[in-house]
Chain A
Amino acid sequence: MKRILLFCGLLALGLQMRAEGYQVNLQGNRQTGMGHTGTGLFFGASSMHFNPGALSFLDKKYDFSFGGSAVFSNNTFQKQTPSVYEAKSDNPVGTPFYFYGATKLTNKLVVGLSVTSPYGNTLKWGDDWDGKYLIQDISLKAIFVQPTMSYKINDKLGLGLGLMAVSGSVDLNKALPVHDTMGDASVNITGNTWAFGFNAGVSYQATDKLSLGLSYRSKVMVEMEGGDADFTVPNSLAGVYTDTKFNAELPMPTNITFGLGYQINEKLLLAADLQYVGWSAYESLDFDFEAESVPDSKNQRDFDNTMIYRLGAEYTMNDKIQFRAGIYYDSTPIPEDLLTPETPGTNKIGMSMGCGYQICDKLSVDVSLLYIHGEKREDGYAPTNFYGTYYTNAVIPGIGLNYSF
């Protein structure tokens, strides 16, 4: 059995894979170990992200869970042939994290608070790489703070609702095609702001073995107003490219996820999630600069809606140890001819494994390892005619602690 699984896993390395814009799905190490399934499961406080409806099924009075992952991502760009040019990104280690805290107020009502980072993008191509006029480096972060309430209608059905308050920030650098003795001019764009949305879910224990869940995370349009655009330009052009403020907006798209869990026997739990991501909300990335002399920047995106298919399993060895494995397929929202090095998305396959250990009655630890393999993608951004082949992968170890009493 395991031999077959392993064989399938290795085979998948050579298959075509799928991507995900700037979404980061790493909101619980137990779930991550299982291919980031969980919408149809009852995993305590971390349900706040996956399905607020499942939170009402909390076992203990208090449940806390926190953890994080380290994203080691690699991007390689080979310029469109004939060319010998190749660039490798030097990405800083991404550190998405999560914190969940929940308490049962009554037998039916659970409230909680979650802090997660489900969106982000950290890429560093370098100041002098060939795509410098598109992007040199970008750091995009969104922290979601979500107070949540979940109500158990009966032993089978739970509903939940959370308010998402989002702190979004961006810091990006790109070169400008104007020279002085120091080389290219450049612009640094920074800003942060708050935006709001909601997360609703319903959870249903259909039979002893089968559980179902549906969650809806609304779109959050992060509207940046009064961000800072700082220009480094030749002295003679300082009057044109003057440091100024900008307005821009970036959507965190709608997510609708249907999940199910199936307890085959006491030891083996299977899970599957079908996640729809409303990426079509990302039509354009426009910077509206306050200074009249600085031309506004309009950048076509026109992303497509996508689906992510997830499968996961958890094998309970004994009271102390659980082993997990999962696989998912994530299709890219980025259409042909609109692929930028700022978000070099491609169809990706994710393969994960994980392990849980019950340290004592109240405390358990989860570790996970996720490998994301991006399908090589030969494409580019037509408006600025920058084409080549992008190769992407990431190795993401994670660890989390759960404390409940």
Chain B
Amino acid sequence: MLKTILKYTMLLTAVLLWSCEPNTDEFTPANGSADFSKFVAIGDSYTAGYTDGALGRKGQESGFSYILGQQLAYVGSNSYNQPLVQSEGSVGTTDLPAGGKNGYLKLELSEAGIAPVPTVGDMSIFADEIYSPDNQNFGVPGAKVIHLGELPDPSPSYAQLNPFFKRFASSDQATVIGDAMAANPSFVSLWIGGNDVLTYALTGGEDDAITPSAMFDYALSEIAKVAFGSGQQGVIANVPGIDALPYFTTIPYNAFTIDAKTAAVLNSKYEQYNLAAKQMGLAEMVFSEGSNAFVIYDETIPAQLGSRRQATSDDRLLLTAKAEAQSWTATSDPILGNEFVLTTTELDEIRNATNAYNETIKGISKQYGLAHVDLYAIMKELSEKGLVIDGHKYSAAFVSGGAFSLDGIHATGRGSAIIANAFIEAINTTYKANVPLANVNDYDMVEFP
């Protein structure tokens, strides 16, 4: 009797100890109907891994295309080679500002509070000659859709125009799409079109021009024909709305804070303006102690009124407006020039163009059976409601929102992971694949001092 009990006791104990660690069901990644063996990404600064106002290793190793490349390694991708910056530095633009400060922005604590300041850039990055037939990242900061292909005569080639491309182009005459297709991709990610409105928007609508939607449609169709016309599989993403970017939403239209004396001076200064404006049925300008709507340049206002008016909540001030306003002294004429403001007219042009581009992109995704990533919708949700992911709520708030880097346009590591996951979800749906999502929490946000 005792023996029997002991025997079974030992047997039961053995079972218990054997199952000491809970048994788990494994998740199995699967490529579905897609061939991820050679993944190539084509696009602009987002694809390149540009962040915090510059291109450097930090962003290249946490950009959305890099994260996507890492996740695709679970489902058959063999590599994701990038034209990595050869130094520890970073570089944002070809113009060299005072002190050479065109490198990464970083937050600094000063008496005025915490604010992003540029670091010294490394111009030698533009001298990189790192063409490699193994490259898989064809993201070029600044590229518009027309820049991916052959530029019309007599324009110099894009490699000659854009040093971000030249550093890894196969030759001076190379095209982005040509080099990308020479890599023989089995799976292509194409995300282009942001700069077709942004380059204009970043000048406050003063310089550059919005790419006409017909031209966009034609140019992207040509690129898609090359990228996907011979049976390549892939994913295409649309263009986020300008209203989702902190660069255009951070500075309130009415952040012009003045004392009673300044208000009185301004009210008397604009007495004549108000009389004339009233006659023309235009809004008058009124100032009081505290916060006021900024005076902005608006070319639609008659020259006799100084082409100016007070901003409304429908206008968007650029991030640069803050520093401009801070630079005003007692003797300044406090007006934000064209380059600091997108007026309602300009915003409508941008929004209409973005919508038209996105129609084209949707059409191309259908034509070639591509996965379609609706980043417009995702960024809109991020900026309007926020995205709650794994214990944290991300928003489009500048610096603190978590998703946007210090330049107010490009993504942080976390933002890039959110974008990469949107790509993965679209890919999984279209190709019945099971590509594992990236862990957003594994990546960085803005670094506080």
Q: Which of B399-442 contact A (CB under 8 A)?
A: 402, 424, 428, 434-437, 439, 441-442
Q: Please, what's the 1-or-0 string for A230-245, where 1 marks a CB less than 8 Å from any CB in chain B?
A: 0000111100000000
Choose among A2, A13, A86 the residue that contacts B8 (Cβ–Cβ < 8 A).
A2
A303 within 8 A of B: no
Report whether A82 and B17 are in contact in the complex, using a CB–CB cutoff of 8 Å.
Answer: no
Report whether B389 and A385 are in contact in the complex, using a CB–CB cutoff of 8 Å.
Answer: yes
Query: A78-B27, A179-B444, A179-B447 are contacts. A353–B9 as well, Cβ < 8 Å?
Result: yes
Q: In the complex, which residue of chain B has the Cβ closest to the Cβ of A341?
A: B391
Report whether B27 and A393 are in contact in the complex, using a CB–CB cutoff of 8 Å.
Answer: no
B377 within 8 A of A: no
Q: Please, what's the 1-or-0 string for B16-59, where 1 marks a CB less than 8 Å from any CB in chain A?
A: 11011111110101000000000000000000000000000000
Report whether A83 and B27 are in contact in the complex, using a CB–CB cutoff of 8 Å.
Answer: yes
Shortest distance from the beta carbon of A300 to any chain B beta carbon, whole Å: 14
A389 to B22, CA, bound (A): 12
B5 within 8 A of A: yes
The interface residues of chain B lying within 8 Å CB-to-CB of A131 are 390-391
Report whether B109 and A384 are in contact in the complex, using a CB–CB cutoff of 8 Å.
Answer: no
A10 within 8 A of B: yes
Report whether A2 and B16 are in contact in the complex, using a CB–CB cutoff of 8 Å.
Answer: no
Q: Which of B260-310 contact A (CB under 8 A)?
A: none
Query: A74-B22, A179-B447, A181-B447 are contacts. A130–B27 as well, Cβ < 8 Å?
Result: no
Q: Which of B297-328 contact A (CB under 8 A)?
A: none
Query: A13-B19, A395-B20 are contacts. A82–B392 as well, Cβ < 8 Å?
Result: no
Shortest distance from the beta carbon of A392 to any chain B beta carbon, whole Å: 6
The interface residues of chain B lying within 8 Å CB-to-CB of A393 are 19-22
Shortest distance from the beta carbon of B26 to any chain A beta carbon, whole Å: 9
Shortest distance from the beta carbon of B29 to any chain A beta carbon, whole Å: 7
B114 within 8 A of A: yes
B330 within 8 A of A: no
Query: A76-B22, A386-B391 are contacts. A395–B5 as well, Cβ < 8 Å?
Result: no
The interface residues of chain A lying within 8 Å CB-to-CB of B17 are 395
Q: In the complex, which residue of chain A has the Cβ closest to the Cβ of B388?
A: A385
A84 within 8 A of B: yes
Report whether A179 and B448 are in contact in the complex, using a CB–CB cutoff of 8 Å.
Answer: yes
Q: Please, what's the 1-or-0 string for A212-227, where 1 marks a CB less than 8 Å from any CB in chain B?
A: 0000000000000000
The interface residues of chain B lying within 8 Å CB-to-CB of A386 are 390-391
Q: In the complex, which residue of chain B has the Cβ closest to the Cβ of A79?
A: B439
Choose among B16, B25, B393, B444 the residue that contacts A369 (Cβ–Cβ < 8 A).
B16
Choose among B22, B24, B449 the residue that contacts A236 (Cβ–Cβ < 8 A).
B449
The interface residues of chain A lying within 8 Å CB-to-CB of B25 are 78, 376, 389
Report whether A2 and B391 are in contact in the complex, using a CB–CB cutoff of 8 Å.
Answer: no
A236 to B424, CA, bound (A): 36
B107 within 8 A of A: yes
A12 to B38, CA, bound (A): 49
A391 to B393, CA, bound (A): 26
A79 to B449, CA, bound (A): 32
Choose among B2, B4, B107, B434 the residue that contacts A82 (Cβ–Cβ < 8 A).
B434
A269 within 8 A of B: no
Q: Please, what's the 1-or-0 string for A137-150, where 1 marks a CB less than 8 Å from any CB in chain B?
A: 00000000000000
How many cross-chain pairs have Cβ atoms below 8 Å apart between A and B? Answer: 122
Report whether B13 and A369 are in contact in the complex, using a CB–CB cutoff of 8 Å.
Answer: yes
Query: A83-B27, A177-B402, A180-B447 are contacts. A236–B439 as well, Cβ < 8 Å?
Result: no
The interface residues of chain A lying within 8 Å CB-to-CB of B436 are 81-85
A388 to B434, CA, bound (A): 16
Report whether B74 and A84 are in contact in the complex, using a CB–CB cutoff of 8 Å.
Answer: yes
The interface residues of chain B lying within 8 Å CB-to-CB of A197 are none
B98 within 8 A of A: no
A374 within 8 A of B: yes
Choose among A75, A82, A133, A371 the residue that contacts B27 (Cβ–Cβ < 8 A).
A82
A6 within 8 A of B: yes
The interface residues of chain B lying within 8 Å CB-to-CB of A385 are 388-391
The interface residues of chain A lying within 8 Å CB-to-CB of B74 are 84
Report whether B27 and A76 are in contact in the complex, using a CB–CB cutoff of 8 Å.
Answer: no
Report whether A234 and B21 are in contact in the complex, using a CB–CB cutoff of 8 Å.
Answer: no
Query: A83-B439, A236-B107 are contacts. A371–B391 as well, Cβ < 8 Å?
Result: no
Shortest distance from the beta carbon of A318 to any chain B beta carbon, whole Å: 10
A180 to B436, CA, bound (A): 28
Shortest distance from the beta carbon of B203 to any chain A beta carbon, whole Å: 32
Report whether A236 and B434 are in contact in the complex, using a CB–CB cutoff of 8 Å.
Answer: no
Report whether A236 and B23 are in contact in the complex, using a CB–CB cutoff of 8 Å.
Answer: no
A289 to B251, CA, bound (A): 31
Q: Please, what's the 1-or-0 string for B379-394, where 1 marks a CB less than 8 Å from any CB in chain A?
A: 0000000001111110
B255 within 8 A of A: no
Report whether B5 and A2 are in contact in the complex, using a CB–CB cutoff of 8 Å.
Answer: yes
A132 within 8 A of B: yes
Report whether A236 and B109 are in contact in the complex, using a CB–CB cutoff of 8 Å.
Answer: yes
Shortest distance from the beta carbon of A118 to any chain B beta carbon, whole Å: 24
Report whether B391 and A179 are in contact in the complex, using a CB–CB cutoff of 8 Å.
Answer: no
Shortest distance from the beta carbon of B382 to any chain A beta carbon, whole Å: 14
Shortest distance from the beta carbon of B224 to any chain A beta carbon, whole Å: 27
Query: A6-B8, A74-B20, A386-B390 are contacts. A237–B27 as well, Cβ < 8 Å?
Result: no
A343 to B13, CA, bound (A): 27
B445 within 8 A of A: yes
A181 to B448, CA, bound (A): 8
Binding site for A on B (CB under 8 A): 1-2, 4-5, 8-9, 11-13, 15-17, 19-25, 27, 29, 74, 107, 109, 114, 388-393, 402, 424, 428, 434-437, 439, 441-442, 444-449
What are the nearest 10 A-B pairs in CB distance? A133-B391, A391-B22, A234-B448, A177-B392, A385-B388, A236-B109, A371-B16, A84-B436, A384-B391, A236-B449
Give 17 CB contacts A-B under 8 Å: A2-B8, A9-B12, A78-B25, A82-B27, A82-B29, A82-B434, A86-B24, A130-B390, A178-B448, A180-B449, A353-B12, A373-B19, A384-B391, A384-B392, A385-B388, A386-B391, A395-B17
Binding site for B on A (CB under 8 A): 2, 6, 9-10, 13, 72, 74-76, 78-79, 81-86, 88, 130-134, 177-181, 234-237, 317, 323, 353, 369, 371, 373-374, 376, 383-386, 389, 391-393, 395
